Structure 1
Amino acid sequence: MKKQALFLVLTLIISINSYSQIVFEHGYIINQNDQKIECQIENQDWKNTPTSFRYQLPDNTNIITADIKTVKEFAITGQSKYIRSLVKIDRSSKNIENMSTDKNPDLKEETLFLKVLIEGKASLYLYDDGNLRRFFYKMDNTEIKQLIYKTYLVNENYSIAKNNYFREQLFIDLKCDNILQREYEILDYNYNKLLKFFIKYNKCSDTNFATFETKEKKDLFNLTIRPRLNSSSLSMNNSNFSTYDTKFDSKLNLSIGLEAEFIFPFNKNKWALIVEPTYQYYNSEKTNKTNNVLGGEVTAKVDYKSIELPIGIRHYFFLKNQSKIFVNASLLFDINSKSKIELVRKDGSELNNLDVGSRSTMALGVGGKFRDKYSIEFRYLFGRTILKDYLAYDSKFATVSLIVGYSFF
């Protein structure tokens, strides 16, 4: 049964993407010939600045892939805008292992898509590439330049210093009576601070300007109560005494968990971190015939209670009608509570008494959610050792669960 369950989970995970909805939203592209073309663009809510994207023309089901070589500009209406530009960029590392000892930026020409944050008398742009984040700016119709900020190493103690030349750039180019000198001097090189500064300057200059800032995303944290029906089994083998070998029957039991879900604010909220402390128990008894023990029988009794703590990653696939499907993979830790396995003879005298101690294992799940409130999940928990403190014993505890949930926060 467990192999069939694992096969079902893996099959669903592999095939599920075929049934998920691809989200295309209204926008436009400007091609190499400066033609503006209305279209539907696949909105991936990019965390990193894209180098390519997909779109559909009106009344056409074909999906076209565009990249930085074929498109000068593209935008998703009311959400985001990207322009292609030849700029000088400093890619110096901020990791101390690869950090430069040179204060000056190492500027090299590259053609990049830049995300437009503000467009006006003073325009602000962003380039994001993993651990590399650079801001660019432009005054009126001048060229786009990087706002210079660099960390570098000084002296033999590898102290870190900062080149904050971007403050001087802004003091020279973005002067306004309503902006105090101290505001330039203490300005930080980050998204929110620079965005507010450029907005303030454009308002101060009394110009028409447009903002393309990413709106704050709501509902990035969920708490879900998750009762479940478990089908659990346990087997154990002793390499020295086969008399102790026992395969317990599968047992159905109810348990409950509380899941905390932290949704990452990018890629259309498709990724989440999940943590779910769950109470579980398993009680079973098995009698085996043997000629090696007085009385001819050995009875194994297991009383296993624990708090399982799976920590994992979830990925959503959005469907229609406020529905979505998800798959998740978790590393599960187990905290047992005075659990034990007893081995006794037919007359009730004790042969062995084993304390339960568990190792971590993996869990795979697939499920669906409706209206961000109601959910159902099928989960397979790989067999884990629960007698880790006994070298002679090999044990395997596995569970298949049907989980329902209600998100109350």
Structure 2
Amino acid sequence: MKKLFILFIFLLVCNLQSYSQIIFENGYFINENNQKINCLIENQDWKNNPTGFNYKLDGNQNILAADIKTIKEFGVNGQSKFVRALVKIDRSTTKIETMSREKNPEFNDEKLFLKVLIEGNATLYLYDDGNLRSFFYKNNDSEIKQLVYKMYLVGNYSIAKNNYFREQLFIDFKCETISQKEYENLAYEKKALEKFFIKYNKCNDPNFVSNETKKKKDLFNLTIRPRLNSTSFSTNNSMSDTFDIKFDSNTNVSLGVETEFIFSFNKNKWSIIVEPTYQYYKTEKTKESSVYLGGEVIGKVDYKSIELPIGLRHYFFLNDGFKIFANASFVFDFSSQSKIKFTRNDGSEANSLDIKSGTGFGIGAGCKLKDKYSLEFRYLTGRNLLSNYVTWKSSFATASLILGYSFF
């Protein structure tokens, strides 16, 4: 059964990409001739600002490519909008090893696609590129400028901050509903700046409506996950092959509760999973032995623990209600009052070992329906339950069929 599970997971993981659907959504772009062309854009929910995108024209299945050289603006309707701009950008690092000692920004001219966060008389833009996150702004028809925030070194590796962006906003966006303290305490963060720009635009226009994404993303799942396990176990002693026993495969049930934190970029395709799981394994096996009177040694395993897989999951969306996924985990294990005993044929004890489990790895693949119901095949690689003994080794491996129901 274990081999069947592993084969299934391998085949499913290898074919996930071929079954996944590239999502093209209604959008538009504006070319160098200022023509607005409606199209279908491959929505990658970009974490970093793109330099180009793929699109399809209505009624045409051919996938075309566009880049910053020929496109002035593009957007996915109701979700995101990017504008091309030639801006002065400071790319000073925040890593102390390479941090600048210069307080003032060190600008370079670059042509970038900037993401529009808030659009109005005061417009806020975002540029993300790896570890660099910079905000830009425009006041009515003025040029687009970077909001200056820079960390720099002073003296013997003391870090100072240039918060000139507050002065920029105070000069360009004065409003009677915004207090002096709000300018002085404003943080260089997306939510704080969005809130400020919305407030300023409403101050100038009571009918102002923010262009923020209306769709609320589900970024947290809590799922109860009962499972059927097929478990294999073996022991080995380097001093005596009497205790080299391969136990028969054992089928049992266990229960886990999975907490999933979904990343807000790339269309919610990536998440971190944490799943404490209670498992109980009990079995025994008789082995012929010439060492003991009676010719047999009996191995008995009584093992209960809390497994704690922590891993990364990737989703592939097939349609609005159905998706498939693959995940990989690093598995910690916390055993409780668990032992492996070896007895002679006459009932006397030959050896008694306390179980102290090592770590392991897990891979899995499955599907989810309507963000509620899930089915997963998972394999946990063999881990050593006798890690506190020098001459002993063991391997405990599990293949599982897991059902899931998400409450949140």
The CA deviation at 1:16 is 1.1
Aligned residue number for residue 111 of structure 1: 111
Match of 1:277 in 2: 276
Distance across 1 between alignment mates of 2:179 and 2:346: 90
Aligned residues: 408
Equivalent in the alignment of 2:314:
315
Any idea what the Cα deviations from partners look like across 1:62-102, whole Å, max 9, x if unmatched? 11222222322101111110011111111111122322221
Find the residue that maps to 2:97 and give its secondary structure: helix
Q: Secondary structure at the match of 1:183?
A: helix
1:350 equivalenced with 2:349 (yes/no): yes
Answering whether residue 361 of structure 2 is matched by residue 362 of structure 1, we say yes
Q: CA deviation at 1:173?
A: 1.6
The C-alpha deviation readout for 1:2-27, integer Å capped at 9, x for no partner, is 34432331221121121122221111
Output the amino acid matched with 1:128.
D
In the alignment, structure 1 segments of 5+ residues that lack a partner are none
Q: Does 1:397 align with 2:393?
A: no
SS at 1:292 equivalent: coil
Alignment of structure 1 residues 333-344 onto 2, 5 Å: 333-344=332-343
Structural RMSD (CA): 1.7
2:163 is aligned to 164
Q: In structure 2, do the counterparts of structure 1 residues 23 and 106 end up closer, same or farther at CA, with 3 Å as the change threshold? A: same
SS for the counterpart of 1:248 is strand
Preserved CA contact (<8 Å) 2:2 2:230: no
Counterpart of 2:7 in structure 1 is 7
What is aligned with 1:25?
25
Shift of 1:218: 4.3
For 1:397, the aligned partner's letter is F
- Residues 33-74 of structure 1: CA distance to partner in whole angstroms, max 9, x if unpaired? 322111011112222212222111100111122222232210
Letter in 2 for 1:255: S
Is the aligned partner of 1:147 residue 2:147? yes
Corresponding residue number in structure 1 for 2:180 = 181
SS of 1:326's equivalent in the other structure is: strand
TM-score w.r.t. the length of structure 2 is: 0.95
CA distance in 2, matches of 1:303, 1:185: 64
Structure 2 residue aligned with 1:66: 66
- Secondary structure in 1 matching 2:267: helix
Q: Which moved more, 1:178-187 or 1:255-264?
A: 178-187
Superposition map of 1:184-203 within 5 A = 184-203=183-202
Q: Which residue identity does 1:250 align to in structure 2?
A: S
Q: Which residue pairs with 2:76 in the alignment? A: 76
For residue 96 of structure 1, give the secondary structure of its aligned residue in structure 2.
coil
Q: Map Cα deviations across residues 341-369 of structure 1 (whole Å, 9 max, x no partner).
A: 11111111111111111111111111111
Letter in 2 for 1:45: D
Q: How does 1:280-319 map to 2 (within 5 A)?
A: 280-319=279-318
Q: Work out the CA distance in 1 between the residues paired with 2:371 and 2:54.
A: 28
1:51 maps to what in 2?
51
Displacement of 1:194 in angstroms is: 1.4
Check whether the contact 1:81–1:212 (CA below 8 A) recurs between aligned residues: no
The corresponding residue for 2:212 is 213
- The aligned counterpart of 1:16 is 16
C-alpha distance in structure 2 between counterparts of 1:187 and 1:320, whole Å: 41
Decide which moves more: 170-179 or 276-285.
170-179
Cα distance in 1, alignment partners of residues 215 and 134 from structure 2: 21
Counterpart CA distance in 2 for 1:263 and 1:275 is: 12
Contact residue 301 and residue 339 of structure 2 kept, 8 A: yes
- Counterpart CA distance in 2 for 1:292 and 1:177 is 93
Query: Aligned to 1:195, what secondary structure does the other structure show?
Result: helix
Q: Is the 8 A contact 2:304 2:337 kept in 1?
A: yes
2: CA distance, partners of 1:240 / 1:4: 34
CA contact (8 A) 2:217 2:264 kept: no
Tell whether the 8 Å contact from 1:120 to 1:207 is kept in structure 2 after alignment.
Answer: no
Secondary structure of 1:97's counterpart equals coil
Quote the Cα distance in structure 2 between the aligned partners of 1:150 and 1:90.
8
Matched, 1:100 2:100: yes
Mean CA deviation greater in 64-73 or 270-279: 64-73
Paired letter, 1:299 = I
Distance 1:198 1:321, change over 3 A: closer
Q: 3-state SS of the aligned residue for 2:248? A: coil
Q: Contact 1:326–1:366 (CA<8 Å) still a contact in 2?
A: yes
- Aligned-residue sequence identity (percent) comes to 64
2:221–2:259: 8 Å Cα contact kept in structure 1? yes
Is 2:338–2:354's contact at 8 Å kept on the other side of the alignment?
Answer: yes
The code of the aligned residue for 1:145 comes to K
List alignment gaps of at least 5 residues for structure 2.
none
